[in-house]
Amino acid sequence: MIMRDLGREATDVGLYLEDPVAVQALEAWARDQIVSVEIPDEPWRRHGGSGALLARLRIVPITGSRGPSDVLMKLCSVGSAAREPMNHDEAWTRSPIFADRHLFRQVFASQVVEDGRVLMFLDSSETLSNRRTLGELPATLRPDGAAATTRLVLREWNSPATWQRGSMPADAFLRTELRGAMEQGRSAYRWAEHAGLLADGLDWIGTANRGHRRTPNPMRLPQVDSIVSRLPVKYLSGNSHGDLHMDNIIIPLAADGSLEHEQIRLVDLSGFDPSAPLSRDVATLLLSSILPTVRAGVSRAETCKLVRMLTATDLVAARTDEPVAAGVVRAVRAAAMAGLDADLQRMFHAQYLLSLVAQTIIYTSYSNVGPAGQQWYFALGTEAAMAFMNYAQCDLSGETD
Question: CA nearest 1: which of 73, 84, 99, 53?
Answer: 73
Q: Is 132-396 a CATH 3.90.1200 domain?
A: yes
Burial label for 140, CB within 10 Å (0-12, 13-18, 19+), is exposed
Q: What is the pLDDT of residue 11?
A: 46
What's at 399, amino acid-wise?
A: E
Q: What is the pLDDT of residue 10?
A: 42
Q: What is the pLDDT of residue 209?
A: 62
- Cβ neighbors of 348 (< 8 A, separation 6 or more) are 236, 278, 279, 336, 337, 340
Q: What is the pLDDT of residue 398?
A: 53
Q: What is the pLDDT of residue 210?
A: 60
Q: Read off the pLDDT of residues 86-103 as tens digits, 9 standing for 90 and up.
A: 999 999 999 999 999 999
Give the length of the chain: 401
- Cβ neighbors of 350 (< 8 A, separation 6 or more) are 233, 234, 235, 388, 391, 392, 395
Q: What is the pLDDT of residue 191?
A: 97
- Cβ neighbors of 217 (< 8 A, separation 6 or more) are 197, 202, 203, 204, 205, 382, 385
Q: What is the pLDDT of residue 271?
A: 92
Q: Are 75 and 119 in contact (CB under 8 A)?
A: yes
DSSP 163-180: -EEEEEEHHHHHHHHHTT
- pLDDT by 10s per residue, the chain, length 401: 333 333 334 448 888 988 888 888 899 999 999 999 999 888 888 876 666 788 999 999 998 778 899 999 998 877 655 688 899 999 999 999 999 999 999 999 988 888 888 899 999 877 777 889 999 999 999 999 999 999 999 999 999 889 999 999 999 999 999 999 999 999 999 999 999 999 999 999 987 666 667 899 999 999 999 999 999 999 999 999 999 999 999 999 999 999 999 999 999 898 999 999 999 999 999 999 999 999 999 888 888 889 999 999 887 666 766 777 899 999 999 999 999 999 999 999 999 999 999 999 999 999 889 999 999 999 999 999 999 999 987 765 554 44
In angstroms, the Cα distances linking 167 to 65, 158, 170, 218, 347 are 56, 19, 9, 21, 10
- Cβ neighbors of 282 (< 8 A, separation 6 or more) are 150, 154, 332, 333, 336, 352, 355
What's at 392, amino acid-wise?
A: A
The domain locations on the chain are 8-125, 132-396
Cα 246 to Cα 48: distance, rounded to the nearest angstrom: 10
In angstroms, the Cα distances linking 130 to 72, 107, 210, 318 are 15, 22, 46, 31
